Amino acid sequence: MRFVSTFVIALAVARWSSAQGLPDKAAAEALFNDARRLLDEGKIAEACPKFEESHRLDPASGTALNLGDCLEKLGRTASAFMAFGEAAAIARRDGNTGRGEEAARRALELEGRLSRLAVIVPAPSRVRGLTLWRDGAAVAEAQWGTAVPLDGGTHVIEARAPGRTPWKVERTIREPGTVRVEVPVLEVAVEPNRPFIPEHSKTQAVAGIVLMGVGFAGLGVSLALGAAADDKDAASKDHCLPRDPNKCYPEGVALRNESIFLANTSTVVISVGAASFLLGGTLFLLATRSRPAKPTTHAWVVPTLSPTSAGVSMGGSW
């Protein structure tokens, strides 16, 4: 009883699977008949897509053979060659010897009339991440250097790689034979308005800008210290004798000493700041001089002063 039930279920599944393919088979048959009619009427360009879709829905040696014949009439020899080869393979699988021999014969006749394209990639051109594209489709690395059959017409070959300028060329194939295209070494990409700067030069330029900023900051601090020294000196006079400013009370002496200390500190700070600015400017100029394009680095440093503090604002782009 269990065996009978299993058999019934298996039979039902087989019938369901067969029924699922019926619409495709029916559509394939209708497309094939339309294609044959169009071919008889001389409407080759309209017939070929119908043969192709019929074969996609229900692959058969007869459909592939007719597709190859149609494509050959259309002048698409490479596509016809592939269709005849597929027809021969399906016929051999199905045991249809006569159709298989016919398809193989047609493919052999076309082989000498094929146009081929070989994309050559020399060793120096094989940069990291290189990819090739033919007519918008990726070309596997295994195909590089291999003469691939293509239909006649204009074909677009592209090469791309990270950090490199894309390369593209068009080649028109008209005659049987092999057309060779060699991929050059892709140039290093340079962003618009941002010239290429070697890493060591970029670091040097940044260091130069920082040192110039320190120099400007020193100027700001020096000005602030100088202003504070003047204030202390002015205040000390209120604690000195009017007729002899050099004779002062203890408060005046203390204020005058503070003024002298601030003035000396201001002198030291502005000296260090000037040296820092000159060194930074030298580093920046040496770094930007190594650029192969017109420098477009912009830097700005603005000292900020107030009665109670001094500082600097820095920024830039490179």
Same domain, 91 and 130: no
**What does the alpha-carbon distance between residue 149 and residue 117 come to, in Å, rounded to a whole number?**
7
Is 193 inside a domain boundary?
Answer: no
> pLDDT tens digits, residue range 145-156?
999 999 989 999
191 is a domain residue: no
**Residue carrying the six token digits 């408060």:** 251
More confident residue, 268 or 5: 268
Q: What percent of the chain is modeled with pLDDT above 70? A: 75
Predicted confidence at residue 200, as pLDDT, reads: 62
Pairing outcome for strands 115-120 and 148-150: antiparallel
pLDDT score for 257: 80
Of 162-171, 183-192, 245-254, least confident by mean pLDDT is: 245-254
Instruction: Tell me the whole-structure pTM to 2 decimals.
Output: 0.51
Statement to judge: residues 150 and 243 lie in one domain: no
Q: What is the pLDDT of residue 234?
A: 75
The reply to whether 127 and 25 lie within a common domain is: no
Cα–Cα distance for residue pair 202/205, rounded to 1 Å: 5
Per-residue pLDDT band for 181 (boundaries 50, 70, 90) equals very high
- Per the domain annotation, does 18 fall within a domain? yes
Identify whether residues 8 and 62 lie together within a single domain.
yes
Which pLDDT band holds residue 305 (cuts at 50, 70, 90)?
very low
DSSP 40-73: HTT-HHHHHHHHHHHHHHS--HHHHHHHHHHHHH
| Least confident stretch, 4-8, 54-58, 115-119 | 4-8
Instruction: Give the total number of structural domains in the chain.
Output: 3
User: Is 138's pLDDT higher than 90?
Assistant: yes
Output the average pLDDT for the chain.
79
Per mean pLDDT, which range of 155-169, 221-235, 243-257 is the poorest? Answer: 243-257
- pLDDT at 315 > cutoff 90: no
- Both 6 and 79 in one domain: the answer is yes
| pLDDT of 308 above 50 | no
Residue 102's domain is classified under what CATH number? Answer: 1.25.40.10
Of 111, 137, 157, at which residue does a domain stop? 111
Q: Are residues 165 and 227 in the same domain?
A: no
Q: Choose between 124 and 1: higher pLDDT.
A: 124
Asked whether residue 314 carries a pLDDT value surpassing 90, the answer given is no
Residue 159 lies in a domain: yes
pLDDT at position 267, please?
85
The answer as to whether 192 is a domain residue is no
Please give the average per-residue pLDDT across 178-192, as a whole number: 89
Query: Is 214 within 8 Å of 276 (Cβ atoms)?
Result: yes
The answer to whether residue 187 is domain-embedded is no
3-state secondary structure of 94: helix
Q: What's the pLDDT tens digit per position in 75-110?
A: 999 999 999 999 999 999 999 999 999 999 999 999
Same domain, 130 and 103: no
pLDDT value, residue 226: 75
Q: Calculate mean pLDDT across residues 5-10.
A: 37
Cα–Cα distance between 278 and 142 in angstroms, integer? 58
Domain boundary at 111, 142, 169, which? 111
The pLDDT, as a whole number, for residue 191 is: 66
Lookup result for tokens 């400007």: 216
The two three-digit tokens of residue 47, written as one number: 């017939």
217 lies in some domain: yes
Do 235 and 301 belong to one domain? Answer: yes
Domain span at residue 145 reads 115-182
| Range 189-197, long-range pairs (CB < 8 A, 24+ positions) | 189/163, 189/164, 189/165, 190/293, 193/296, 194/296, 195/291, 195/292, 195/293, 195/294, 195/295, 195/296, 196/291, 196/292, 196/293, 197/287, 197/290, 197/291, 197/318
Residue 282 has pLDDT above 50, yes or no: yes
Average pLDDT over residues 14-24: 50
Residue 301 has pLDDT above 60, yes or no: no
| Pair 279, 313 in one domain | yes
Which among 128-142, 219-233, 292-306 has the top mean pLDDT?
128-142
